[in-house]
Amino acid sequence: MLLSPSAFVFSNSPDSSTALLPSTVTQRYRRVALRAGLRSTRRHALRHYSATELLTAGVDLRTVAGRLGHGSGGGTTLRFYAAWVEAADQGAADAMATIMPTPDPTRRRPKHPYEVVASDLRKQIESGALRPGSPLPTSTELSALYDVSAGTVNRAVALLKEAGLVVAARGRRAQVTTTSDETAARTTDDD
In the chain, domain spans: 7-42, 44-99, 113-190
Question: How many Å apart are CA 48 and CA 29, to the nearest integer?
Answer: 15
Cα-based distances in Å from 2 to 8, 9, 15 = 13, 13, 9
pTM: 0.42
Q: Residue 41: what pLDDT?
A: 79
Structure confidence at residue 184 (pLDDT): 46
- Check: CB of residue 171 under 8 Å from CB of residue 177: no
> What residues contact 155, with CB distance under 8 A and at least 6 apart?
114, 118
Return the pLDDT at 148: 94
pLDDT, position 80: 78
- Check residue 98 and give its pLDDT: 84
* Cβ atoms of 124 and 130 closer than 8 Å: yes
* pLDDT value at residue 165: 94
* pLDDT of the residue at 70: 84
Dist. CA 50–CA 56, nearest whole Å? 10
Average pLDDT along the chain, 191 residues, taken 10 residues at a time: 84 88 86 86 82 82 86 77 73 82 72 91 92 92 94 92 89 81 46 47
pLDDT of residue 39: 80
Domain 113-190 class?
Answer: mainly alpha
- Cβ 177 vs Cβ 166: under 8 Å: yes
